[in-house]
């Protein structure tokens, strides 16, 4: 286990190095002279130009700049944002809680609903509940998230006027009622797609379990149907859910970009979009690197969770 | 042997090996098509896809207006006899933009997946067949690509590369490649140690010819399922990018852009924003149903069970 984990972490470090290289060199290809972007204007005198040029270490080679960037990043210093003239880490630190809140609440909402849907489809396989819930899951999977968001907005903000369309903030800032009102639609939107994923995964793995010998044995022993479903089937059938959950956790920081942008939620997703638009390279680099770190950590956690939940899996053998 | 060739004997029906093989293949194909279309939802998917393809092909005949022609006298009209779905804030006909939008979605979806499949399958076969350091490098790069959320990769690449139709196809392909590589590699590993590959190696075939004539036929079938469902996923991705305002450049009617532009006018004419989203969903659902059908038809274990 320890050996496998070390190997996994080693692989992840290589992955992160590749990502950091790719981000750094790709963002250096952004068209246009970066000095003007930093200065915020095309009309600056030569002295100013030279000063910024040196500040950005543009006189050094790209490799040197990469090494300086990595050294600083390891210390938590991602440089100054071009757009906000603030340290990038401060910008990101201020936005992480918001994004985490939306993502985690969406997952919390989608797991029970998806699992219940999946159980229903598996238990009533080939009967009408199966057809109905499978169809719901399929449709949810195909509807664009931004479209659902706009539909909800149209119905609940513009037509019924029940919920505000923007103005999200934590209770300390805007008070509890507003906090809850502004949370409802983003969280529902964020969970719909995940519900589809959990439903499909639960259904597939439950159907696999239904065919197992120990289920037949349990039934033969005269255990009540309900106990068979909830004790024997759920226990084993839910293990593959970890995969879907891991995928969701991996995108906990970068996955809510569309929702944040529609509902004007000041999180990482809005920062990512504005940094692309404003060619705010240090911010973009930091966002990509941090979201990668988080998703790598999530994948390792998923692996550990598998072993903890299912003792049949031995990690040392599964490594290819 | 001589008496066999006696002229009085009826000529034996000689079926050559090639002929047998051809018949078997034909039979297999027919069975595949039968299983596939025996399920209603697959037929619905196929009809839906065909519908969108026809709309895209005959867009100039179907639309009664130029999709980018502005009309200052008809701004934000609600659906009426002239403008079936109303007009947007520039007075452009929503129906015409919708019809032409089908072209953009289908072209980008198909192009991106084609690029991704060709690159992904090649890299996957190379990684699986050669193994060692090549495998290591390819797989680590793929893992790196999968570690970043797709939308973020796309967003960053648009900033670097640009947003023409081909730019977007390439950008969307980048995030799709890893799944093909992984799947192809896994299947190549299975084929690599088979007797016929060993025999081909001993017969002195080059690696390239082994890959093309022995490995490729084995890995291609499973990738077909992925291709069909990936086109749907890519169309969704493109719509999301366009919605964020970093998709295809502005005057081109893209469904994502239409939703994005229309959301400011929800109160005046909700159809501008809502109908394109329905189109995206219907097209993606059609593709997914078709993909599911192909998967079930190819995998006999799945046939009729799920």
Q: How large is the ipTM?
A: 0.80
Count up the domains in chain B and report the number.
1
C-beta atoms surrounding A119 within 10 Å: 21
Q: Are residues A263 and A136 in the same domain?
A: yes
Residue B20 lies in a domain: no
* Residue of B178, B208, B184, B186 lying closest to B116 (CA atoms): B178
Q: Are residues A268 and A306 in the same domain?
A: yes
Upper half-sphere CA count for residue B269 (Cβ side, 13 Å): 27
pLDDT at A216: 84
Q: How confident is the model at residue B11 (pLDDT cuts 50, 70, 90)?
A: low
Are B288 and A142 inside 8 Å of each other by CB?
Answer: yes
Q: Which residues of B touch A146 (CB under 8 A)?
A: 239-240, 243, 256, 259-260, 277
Please, which residues have CB within 8 angstroms of residue B21's CB and are 6 or more apart in sequence?
none
C-beta atoms surrounding B84 within 10 Å: 16
Stretch B191-203: mean pLDDT, rounded? 84
Give which of B147, B170, B257 to mutate to test A binding, by max A Cβ within 10 Å. Answer: B147
Give which of B131, B148, B268 to mutate to test A binding, by max A Cβ within 10 Å. Answer: B148
Q: How confident is the model at residue B9 (pLDDT cuts 50, 70, 90)?
A: low
Vertex B138 angle, CA B135 and B140, to 5°: 100
Q: Are residues A221 and A278 in the same domain?
A: yes
pLDDT at A317: 46
Q: Which residue of A146, A207, A295 is in closest CB contact with B147?
A: A295
Residue A85 lies in a domain: no
Residue by residue, DSSP assigns chain A as -HHHHHHHHHHHHHHHHHHHHHHHHHHTT-SS-HHHHHHTSS---HHHHHHHHHHTTTTS-HHHHHHHHHHHHHTT---B-TTT-SBHHHHHHHHHHHHHHHHHHHHHHHHHHHHHHHHHHHHTTTSHHHHHHHHHHHHHHHS-HHHHHHHHIIIIIIIS--S-SS----HHHH-HHHHHHHHHHHHHHHHHHHHHHHHHHHHHHHHHHHTSHHHHHHHHTT--HHHIIIIIIHHHHTTTHHHHHHHHHHTTTTTTHHHHHHTT--SHHHHHHHHHHTT-HHHHHHHHHHHHHHHHHHHHHHHHHHHHH-TT--HHHH--
Most confident of A97-111, B60-74, B237-251, B286-300: A97-111
Q: Are residues A66 and A151 in the same domain?
A: no
Q: Are residues A290 and A168 in the same domain?
A: yes
Count Cβ neighbours within 10 Å for each residue of B151-176 and write b for 16 or more, e otherwise: bbbbbbbbbbbebebebbbbbbbbbb
| B244 interfaces chain A, CB cutoff of 8 Å | yes
CA A293 – CA B196 distance, rounded (Å): 43
pTM higher than 0.90? no
Are A261 and B244 inside 8 Å of each other by CB?
Answer: yes
Q: How confident is the model at residue B288 (pLDDT cuts 50, 70, 90)?
A: confident
Q: Which residue of A15, A153, A320 is in closest CB contact with B147?
A: A15
**Residues 91-150, chain B, touching A (beta carbon < 8 A):** 140-141, 143-144, 147-149
Are A204 and B306 inside 8 Å of each other by CB?
Answer: yes
From the centroid of its chain, how far is CA B291? 9
| B216 interfaces chain A, CB cutoff of 8 Å | no
Whether B301 and A211 have beta carbons less than 8 Å apart is answered as no
Q: Are residues A102 and A178 in the same domain?
A: yes
Q: Is the pLDDT of residue B2 over 60?
A: no
Q: Are residues A136 and A61 in the same domain?
A: no
Are A18 and B256 inside 8 Å of each other by CB?
Answer: no
How many residue contacts between A and B have a Cβ separation below 8 Å? 134
Residue numbers of chain A with a pLDDT score lower than 50: 317-320
CA B108 – CA B248 distance, rounded (Å): 10
From the centroid of its chain, how far is CA A213? 38
C-beta atoms surrounding B91 within 10 Å: 17
Residue B18 lies in a domain: no
Residue B210 lies in a domain: yes
Count up the domains in chain A and report the number.
2
Residue A80 lies in a domain: no
CA A240 – CA A310 distance, rounded (Å): 10
Residue range(s) defining the domain that contains residue B263: 39-303
| Residue A132, domain CATH | 1.10.3720.10
| A271 interfaces chain B, CB cutoff of 8 Å | no
pLDDT at A113: 93
Q: Which residues of B touch A27 (CB under 8 A)?
A: 156, 159-160
pLDDT at A318: 44
CA B283 – CA B292 distance, rounded (Å): 14
Q: Are residues A34 and A158 in the same domain?
A: no
The residue of chain B with its CA nearest to that of A147 is: B277
pLDDT at B50: 93
Residue B11 lies in a domain: no
Are B158 and A158 inside 8 Å of each other by CB?
Answer: no
CA A255 – CA A233 distance, rounded (Å): 31
Residue B250 lies in a domain: yes
According to DSSP, the residues that pair with B93 across neighbouring strands are B87
Stretch B110-118: mean pLDDT, rounded? 94
Structure tokens at A281: 């390279």
Q: Which residues of A touch B280 (CB under 8 A)?
A: 144, 147
The residue of chain B with its CA nearest to that of A293 is: B147
Are A29 and B306 inside 8 Å of each other by CB?
Answer: no
Are A254 and B148 inside 8 Å of each other by CB?
Answer: yes
Residue B25 lies in a domain: no
CA distance to partner chain A, nearest, from residue B114 (Å): 21
Give the C-alpha distances (Å, rounded to integers) separating B44 from A158, A176, B19: 35, 47, 35
Q: Are residues A174 and A274 in the same domain?
A: yes
According to DSSP, the residues that pair with B87 across neighbouring strands are B93
User: Would residue A57 be called left, alpha or beta, if left means φ above 0 and alpha means ψ between -120 and 50 degrees?
Assistant: left
CA distance to partner chain B, nearest, from residue A308 (Å): 23
The residue of chain B with its CA nearest to that of A285 is: B156
CA distance to partner chain B, nearest, from residue A57 (Å): 21
CA distance to partner chain A, nearest, from residue B109 (Å): 14
Residue B34 lies in a domain: no
Structure tokens at A177: 């009622």
* Final residue before a domain boundary, out of A43, A74, A105: A74
C-beta atoms surrounding A317 within 10 Å: 8
Q: Which residue of A19, A150, A255 is in closest CB contact with B147?
A: A19
3-state SS assignment for residue B87:
strand
Tell me which of B57 and B297 has the higher pLDDT.
B57
Give which of A122, A150, A166 to mutate to test B binding, by max B Cβ within 10 Å. Answer: A150
Residue B19 lies in a domain: no
Residue A37 lies in a domain: yes
CA B304 – CA A163 distance, rounded (Å): 45
Structure tokens at B274: 């809502």
Q: Which residue of B147, B246, B280 is in closest CB contact with A292?
A: B147
Residue range(s) defining the domain that contains residue A43: 2-74
Q: Are residues A123 and A240 in the same domain?
A: yes
Residue A14 lies in a domain: yes
pLDDT in tens, A25-67: 877 777 667 777 777 677 777 887 888 777 777 777 788 888 8
According to DSSP, the residues that pair with A87 across neighbouring strands are A80
| A243 interfaces chain B, CB cutoff of 8 Å | no
pLDDT in tens, B213-259: 888 888 887 788 788 878 988 998 888 888 888 777 767 788 888 88
Q: How confident is the model at residue B38 (pLDDT cuts 50, 70, 90)?
A: confident
Structure tokens at B290: 């078709």
Count Cβ neighbours within 10 Å for each residue of B246-271 and write b for 16 or more, e otherwise: bbbeeebbbbbbbbbbbbebbeebbb
pLDDT at B171: 92
Whether A117 and A195 have beta carbons less than 8 Å apart is answered as yes
Residue A86 lies in a domain: no
* Final residue before a domain boundary, out of A45, A74, A103: A74
Q: Are residues A161 and A267 in the same domain?
A: yes
Q: Which residues of A touch B246 (CB under 8 A)?
A: 273, 276-277
CA distance to partner chain A, nearest, from residue B282 (Å): 8
| Residue B261, domain CATH | 1.10.3720.10
CA distance to partner chain A, nearest, from residue B244 (Å): 7
Query: Average per-residue pLDDT in chain B?
Result: 83
* Residue of B303, B288, B216, B306 lying closest to B34 (CA atoms): B303
Residue by residue, DSSP assigns A152-193 as HIIIIIIIS--S-SS----HHHH-HHHHHHHHHHHHHHHHHH
Q: Which residues of A touch B240 (CB under 8 A)?
A: 144-146, 258
Orientation angle between helical segments A281-309 and A268-277, nearest 10 degrees: 140
């Amino acid at each position: 286990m320890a050996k496998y984990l070390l190997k996994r972490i080693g692989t992840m470090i290589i992955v992160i190095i590749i990502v950091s290289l790719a981000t750094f060199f790709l963002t250096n290809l952004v068209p246009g002279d970066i000095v003007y972007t930093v200065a915020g204007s095309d009309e600056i005198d030569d002295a100013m130009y030279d000063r910024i040029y040196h500040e950005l270490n543009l006189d050094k080679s790209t490799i040197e700049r990469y090494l300086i960037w990595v050294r600083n990043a390891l210390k938590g210093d991602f440089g100054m944002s071009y757009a906000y003239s603030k340290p990038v880490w401060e910008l990101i630190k201020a936005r992480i809680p918001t994004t985490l809140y939306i993502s985690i609440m969406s997952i919390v909402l989608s797991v029970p609903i998806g699992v219940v849907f999946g159980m229903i489809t598996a238990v009533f396989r080939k009967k009408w509940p199966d057809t109905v819930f499978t169809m719901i899951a399929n449709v949810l999977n195909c509807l664009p998230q931004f479209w659902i968001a706009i539909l909800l907005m149209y119905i609940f903000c513009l037509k019924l006027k029940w919920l505000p369309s923007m103005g999200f903030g934590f209770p300390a800032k805007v008070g509890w009622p507003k906090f809850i009102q502004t949370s409802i639609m983003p969280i529902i939107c964020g969970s719909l797609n995940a519900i589809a994923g959990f439903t499909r995964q639960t259904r597939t793995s439950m159907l696999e379990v239904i065919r197992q010998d120990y289920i037949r044995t349990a039934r033969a022993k005269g255990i009540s149907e309900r106990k068979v479903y909830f004790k024997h089937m759920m226990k084993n059938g839910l293990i593959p859910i970890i995969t879907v959950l891991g995928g969701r956790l991996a995108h906990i920081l970068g996955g809510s970009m569309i929702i944040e942008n529609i509902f004007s939620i000041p999180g990482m997703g809005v920062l990512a979009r504005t940094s692309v638009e404003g060619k705010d390279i240090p911010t973009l680099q930091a966002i990509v690197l941090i979201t990668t770190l988080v998703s790598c950590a999530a994948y390792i956690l998923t692996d550990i969770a598998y072993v903890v939940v299912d003792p049949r899996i031995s990690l040392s053998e599964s490594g290819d | 042997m001589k008496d066999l060739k006696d002229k009085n004997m009826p000529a034996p029906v000689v079926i050559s090996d090639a002929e047998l093989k051809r018949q078997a293949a034909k039979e297999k194909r027919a069975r595949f098509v039968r299983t596939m279309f025996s399920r209603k939802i697959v037929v619905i998917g196929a009809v839906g896809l065909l519908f969108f393809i026809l709309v895209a092909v005959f867009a100039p005949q179907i639309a009664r207006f130029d999709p980018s022609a502005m009309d200052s006298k008809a701004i934000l009209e609600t659906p009426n006899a002239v403008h079936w779905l109303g007009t947007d804030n520039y007075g452009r006909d929503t129906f015409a933009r919708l019809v032409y939008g089908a072209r953009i979605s289908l072209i980008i979806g198909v192009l991106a997946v084609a690029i991704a499949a060709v690159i992904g399958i090649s890299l996957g076969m190379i990684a699986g067949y050669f193994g060692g350091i090549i495998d290591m490098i390819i797989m680590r790069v793929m893992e790196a690509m999968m570690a970043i959320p797709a939308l973020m990769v796309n967003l960053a690449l648009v900033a670097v590369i640009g947003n023409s139709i081909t730019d977007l196809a390439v950008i969307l392909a980048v995030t799709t490649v890893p799944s093909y590589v992984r799947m192809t590699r896994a299947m190549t590993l299975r084929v690599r140690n088979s007797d016929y590959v060993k025999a081909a190696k001993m017969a002195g075939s080059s690696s390239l010819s082994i890959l093309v004539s022995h490995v490729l036929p084995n890995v291609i079938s499973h990738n077909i399922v992925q291709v069909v469902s990936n086109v749907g996923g890519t169309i969704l991705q493109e719509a999301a990018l366009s919605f964020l305002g970093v998709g295809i450049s502005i005057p081109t009617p893209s469904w994502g852009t239409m939703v994005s532009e229309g959301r400011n006018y929800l109160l005046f004419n909700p159809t501008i924003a809502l109908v394109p989203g329905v189109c995206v969903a219907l097209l993606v659902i059609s593709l997914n149903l078709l993909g599911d059908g192909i998967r079930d038809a190819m995998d006999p274990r799945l046939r009729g069970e799920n």
